[in-house]
Structure 1
Amino acid sequence: MLKKVCVSWMLVAGGVLPLAACDGEPKTPEIIDSRGPGDVVLLIERLGVEGPYITGRKERFKVAAAGESFKSVRWSATAGALEADAEQVEWTPLGQGEASLTVSVETESGKVAQGAFHFNVVAAPSTLIDPGPDLTGSRCELAFDSTGKGHALYLNDSHQSLWYATWDGTSWTTEVVDGPGFNNGGTYVWEAALAVDAGTGVPHIAYIAGEGPPDKPSSRSVRYATRLDRAWTLTSVSAHYYGLPSKLSIALNPAQGGLPTIAYDGTYNYDFARRTASGTWSPTRMDARELSGDISFDAAGSLFIPHYAHSLRKTYVSVVAQEPSTQESLLDLQMVETPGTYEWLSAAWSPDSHLMLLARSQDPASRAALRDITLANPLSASTIRTSPLDLKHDASDLAHGSRGPVIAHRHGTSLELITTDARGFWKYTQLGSVQDGTRPSVAIRPTTGTAHVCYQRDGKVNFQ
């Protein structure tokens, strides 16, 4: 008798990674660092429950410290009921919003430590953007328009297709953008990026599509999709895409009525293509560079492009002024890379027009940092303030609101929201478990100021 083996796979740069295992197979436990003061670093493991933290539902945790055994353990919480049993505790959070669980320990060797763990408690489980039977969400992007309407872009990994969803504040409505089809020009989709016009709510999507495998450049192309009057318009930007599947970005130019620009990677170069008219794109090739982050426009219409310079093994930001000017200025991001280790940078603008750049993942951990750039003219005269983020930096996404930067951060299988406290120190609030090997997306709803995330868990695209 043959035993059925079931493993899903996600496309990543340079190969594939296993995703959700079949029901009943062991999953990686959710481990949370204390990041608190003391002689030892405390870790708590969440036991038995996955997903978000729900009011009234019992949670079980176990505290541990590497190489140490405990002489005494004391637990406390800001809200809810506690039942402690030495290293383990049962906690039933009550109410919604932030709650904290604190543990203080003394080890047998005489060391003392305290860990404060912050949790975002919700009234109900996270929302499935797409509740269908397919594997979804190895790639998702989240955005809001000025009315507070939510927009999400995600891949259907079962059928390698591209989907778009809108949220009215209560429920999600989904529809296919492109994918395999009958005599309609549809084909497989491997990667996508989303930009939403905040004023009109119109989505603009750049994506990589093709009939052949993702490692065959001649079979892939760069495409663009937008939706007006409930109808999708799909156009070709470039007939061939020679870069890695994840190197793609789109941004809207506020100085040109929100016209999109798409940047995409090639072989030791990248292209950025401006949309000049309906179905018409004007490409520009940048040689000896590799696209390494989200592109973005300032209010004047200057385009900022993070890139990696192969000859210098460094990451820079270049700025390209409004056409017809072709002048370019460069800023050294002070990121000295070794071949094959440079990372993609998420971009966001602060209300005071600072450009923020954050590595989505980083190795070694000492380089994991947020870069706050005060821009100058020329760009090379800009100043950079570097803020370390986390020693374990698995996958992140960046947004910026009126109260500062907001980061969705996957720390193993733990999803956390990183903000700042009154003194500017990072504050880590747990949102729940997330699928290992994936990247979340974060956006701030302007009508409420609330940060929301989309992510993959158990092979489904979720929203919280």
Structure 2
Amino acid sequence: MSLRILLMLALVALAACGGDKSQPPPPPPPENAAPSASILSPTDGATLLGAGPHELTGSATDPEDGPLSGTALRWSSSLDGPLGTGSPLSVRLSGGEHRLSLDVTDSGGKQARAQLSVTVIVEDQPPVATIESPTAGATFEEGTPIPLKGKAVDPETGALSGAALTWSSDSGGIIGTGTQLSFTGAARGVHRLLLSAVDPGGQAGYASVTVTVVPPGTNQKPVVTLTQPTEGSRFFTTQAITLEGSATDAEDGTLADSALAWTSSKDGTLGTGRQVTGVVLSAGVHALTLTATDSLGATASASVLVTVTVQGQTAPSVTITRPVNGFTLFAGTPLTLEGTATDAEDGTLSGAALRWSSSLAGALGTGSPLTVPGLSAGSHEIFFTARDSSGTEGAARIRVEVLPTNDPPTVQITSPANGSHFTVGAVVALRGTGQDPEDGVLTGNSLTWQSSLGGQLGHGPSLDVSSLEAGTHQLTLTAADSGGRMASASIQLIIDPAQVKLPPVARLTGPAQAEARRVATFDGATSSDPDGTVNRYRFDFGDATTPMDGTAPQASHTYAAPGTYTVTLEVTDNDGLTATATRTVTVTPYVRVPEVVAEGPEFFGSACQLEMRGAVAHLAFRGVTHPSLWYGTRTGTTWAMEQVDGMGFNTGGMVLESLAMTVAADGTPHLVYLMSGKGLWYATRSGNTWIRERVDSAATPVEPSTWVSIALDPSNGNRPTVVYGWYGSVTDVGTVWRTAVAYRTGAAAWSSARVSFPTTATSHQQPLGDAVFSPSGTLYIPYGGNFLGAWKSTGSAEALTLPEFLGSARVSTAWTSTGPMLLFASGLHRVTLRTPFSASTVSTSLVEAFSLSELAVAADAGGNPRLAFTHGGELEVVRRGTNDYWSRTDDLSQVDSAEIDATVDAQDETRVCFFRAGKLLLY
């Protein structure tokens, strides 16, 4: 019988015996067991160096679910809070003691926790410096101040300011300190500007840009703005893209479509214009670049990085987390690159899926983080490219500036000892050393003392201070080498309070370098009083000028001469106690830089005239594009100009190239100029109105190819007198040139006559340039090849034969106490007057070995000549020097081929007007 049948019979028997007839309850479900968790790394009690990344690994199992992973594992820190999920997990941790927790949860909600303790020691991280102005590649005209603006943020202490930020130029050395200042006197050429930031712990961070200083009037590069698409945009290969951008140019204004070209690093040329529509890009990462070219060929560009994928595919999302854009380091310094990449299908990408490359160095390596041993000097564009399992790529980029190799200095504080105590007001002797591998022993402004409470204290290896306020000071000595690299050493210093009224603390900031005759500003605003307020500030500038005393904490001063000066600030507090601070400023010689005073759509040239009356420069000049006469004044930095004559409705006409100007003592201008087909004209200003009058007459008409000149006759009430050329038939002589003189007898009334000088009466007597009056009213006129004429309205004309032929260039004249000076093509004639005039003597001085073409002469207060002329297309200014040899200031600016003029200002400086690239410049 089978076992099944026997069981059935047994059940029937039990039922027949009258047992319990109810069914037994079902067994209870088994209880959900809790998971178990353990932390595998780090180990309990471990010390972790640096903020990371550190790898956390753990394991968790559940009786029902088996091994747990992913979001079932949650990490947290007692200091940093939630850290993330999964195992392994890469994290960054702040400094201090952490209680790390691994919390695990099974599918039934049961939890378990594992914990351990670690200590994280984070080294002081360097600050992150950023230059906000100027921008990389910017161009500035010589003489224009370069605005410097930057910032620095320290991971531990926050924003840095004041002496913690140092600006330097690779060609100009240390410029100054602070978040914002002005770089003046920058020499022509390329400057790498370096912003060095040092945190309280002595760690240094850097930022740099390269700018170019060009001569005034140099064609500027365009400024390009790329508005669409934006950096990091994503598109499909089937998507039509619109490109938008624009460019402006200092000379051309808004550039036309034809000047704008679009390209792709992957697909090449895309089109031209401010807007290009319907652009379809191939799959991959593209650098889209908009390049602008101005009318003189200068170019500039802007670019964005975009990602293009096939429809249905998603490119990885890529971010560079370290370093920041614009990060600057020195060649030979290891660079750590760090970034993240996530993909919609693959999740977090790592390892070989992440590639780093440089625009200069090529492939750098894979994975994140990646440490590059050292990059070569230059501006590197760093690309971080991620590729998912389908081969689709995404990318991000930053700019990293690598400076030429420069080893950092070493610095040491030798006194006082760390932790020393002093009483408020006591003299603290600060002593330290700085040594640089390239520069040797560092001294002076290369060593800067700073207090965490008192700011900048002073410079040099030895400094005695008595102004430290009560409290705990972190005292730092920072060394800066000639390349801008920084290093620091720090100690703690405790200043204990005194039980008496405390004097104020004087703190003085300002430039370490200045230029004579330019404004320098000094600041005592950070001065303070430990037990009250600062009421007065007294600035002594160290140059024997009257100190500036008052309630203003800032003072501006202009040094008259170069030298080294000690600026002293004395502050007085509300208790009448005083304190002083000093600062050494090195004043370099004043260097006049030619400045553009007139530019725009009108092209200026042909001729200019210049005279100084006090602090006002008067200029007359010609517009070439639309032949016209212009007049302007320069007072300090204020320039005003207006058109005097030119083409217009029922007025004026085309102004020819010859013009002249003289200015009365009261500043009234008197101009004379030629008009095409309309003769010779005179203009003067009465109030805001220009008066214009015809000068030549039917009897003595002007010859259009002549030079004209104007002077004021001191013997006849300073009446305007005009000299010009007449060409016609002379009885018994023939058709020849003669000099004509016209003077103003009243409003719109002129008397004119031809002058026949006694010498060479049968040949040409054409005026050859500027005429000049003597104080007695005799007018001296160069004419006819090698003669100087003397004319007075009440006497006969006289003539003097000159030893040299005057040449074809316009002769420039100036009056001295002994007689006139004439600068001509071959040199300088100095005339000593005798009676009769023909007996006068002439001394000649050679100036150049070539024939002068654009030239001008002026006389200083001592009657010495000041010369200006062009040499090889460059302006050259010459004066009488040691042992009567010529002293030259050359290569001042490129000069157009046009007549120039010179004068001497109230500061005994030679001033010159000239043209460059169609712009009027004043030196």
TM bucket normalised to smaller? 0.5 to 0.7
Tell me which residue corresponds to 1:357.
822
Question: Residue type of the partner of 1:205?
Answer: L
Tell me which residue corresponds to 1:205.
671
In the alignment, does 2:642 pair up with 1:166? no
**1:306 shift after superposition:** 1.2
Q: Secondary structure at the match of 1:433?
A: coil
CA distance in 1, matches of 2:879, 2:611: 19
2:912 pairs, out of 453, 456, 459, with 453
Is the 1:273–1:284 contact (alpha carbons within 8 Å) kept by the matching residues of 2?
Answer: yes
CA distance in 2, matches of 1:283, 1:375: 27
Is the 2:680–2:702 contact (alpha carbons within 8 Å) kept by the matching residues of 1?
Answer: no
Tell me which residue corresponds to 1:243.
703
Tell me which residue corresponds to 2:611.
143
In the alignment, does 2:438 pair up with 1:438? no
| 1:121-141 deviation digits (Å, cap 9, x = unpaired) | 747x53222132210132111
Is the 1:150–1:169 contact (alpha carbons within 8 Å) kept by the matching residues of 2?
Answer: no
Question: Residue type of the partner of 2:719?
Answer: L
1:55 pairs, out of 185, 199, 204, with 185
> Relative to structure 1, is the Cα distance of residues 161 and 444 closer, same or farther in structure 2, using a 3 angstrom cutoff?
same
Is the 1:55–1:121 contact (alpha carbons within 8 Å) kept by the matching residues of 2?
Answer: no
Q: How many residues align?
A: 331
Tell me which residue corresponds to 2:788.
317
CA distance in 1, matches of 2:645, 2:890: 35
Tell me which residue corresponds to 1:376.
834
Is the 1:410–1:439 contact (alpha carbons within 8 Å) kept by the matching residues of 2?
Answer: no
CA distance in 2, matches of 1:138, 1:344: 13
* 1:239-318 matches, cutoff 5 A: 242-267=702-727, 268-286=737-755, 288-308=764-784, 314-318=785-789
> Relative to structure 1, is the Cα distance of residues 122 and 290 closer, same or farther in structure 2, using a 3 angstrom cutoff?
same
**1:175 shift after superposition:** 0.5
> Relative to structure 1, is the Cα distance of residues 94 and 369 closer, same or farther in structure 2, using a 3 angstrom cutoff?
farther
Q: Secondary structure at the match of 2:882?
A: coil
| 1:245-291 deviation digits (Å, cap 9, x = unpaired) | 45111111111121111111122122110111221111111354101
CA distance in 1, matches of 2:595, 2:809: 30
2:844 pairs, out of 364, 386, 389, with 386
Is the 1:155–1:163 contact (alpha carbons within 8 Å) kept by the matching residues of 2?
Answer: yes
Is the 2:772–2:820 contact (alpha carbons within 8 Å) kept by the matching residues of 1?
Answer: no
2:871 pairs, out of 401, 404, 411, with 411
> Relative to structure 1, is the Cα distance of residues 291 and 194 closer, same or farther in structure 2, using a 3 angstrom cutoff?
same
Tell me which residue corresponds to 1:129.
597
CA distance in 2, matches of 1:227, 1:236: 15
**Unpaired runs of 5+ in structure 2?**
1-183, 191-481, 484-512, 518-560, 563-588, 728-736, 757-763
**Unpaired runs of 5+ in structure 1?**
1-53, 61-81, 84-92, 100-119, 211-218, 309-313, 363-367
**1:336 shift after superposition:** 4.1
| 1:70-97 deviation digits (Å, cap 9, x = unpaired) | xxxxxxxxxxxx99xxxxxxxxx99569
CA distance in 1, matches of 2:704, 2:845: 29
Is the 2:873–2:896 contact (alpha carbons within 8 Å) kept by the matching residues of 1?
Answer: yes
CA distance in 1, matches of 2:610, 2:849: 26
Is the 1:295–1:304 contact (alpha carbons within 8 Å) kept by the matching residues of 2?
Answer: yes
Question: Residue type of the partner of 2:786?
Answer: T
CA distance in 2, matches of 1:347, 1:442: 11
Is the 1:144–1:151 contact (alpha carbons within 8 Å) kept by the matching residues of 2?
Answer: yes
RMSD: 2.7
| 1:303-359 deviation digits (Å, cap 9, x = unpaired) | 111110xxxxx42111122x3x3312210012247xxx5442111012x23210111
CA distance in 1, matches of 2:703, 2:679: 10
CA distance in 1, matches of 2:683, 2:896: 30
Is the 1:398–1:407 contact (alpha carbons within 8 Å) kept by the matching residues of 2?
Answer: yes
Question: Residue type of the partner of 1:372?
Answer: R
Question: Residue type of the partner of 1:370?
Answer: L
Question: Residue type of the partner of 1:401?
Answer: D
Residue identity (%): 28
Comparing both chains, which one has the higher relative contact order based on Cα–Cα distances under 8 Å and sequence gaps of 6 or more? Answer: 1
Q: What TM-score do you get using the length of structure 2 for normalisation? A: 0.34
CA distance in 2, matches of 1:187, 1:374: 43
**1:414 shift after superposition:** 1.2
CA distance in 2, matches of 1:377, 1:194: 31
Question: Residue type of the partner of 1:179?
Answer: G
Question: Residue type of the partner of 1:281?
Answer: W
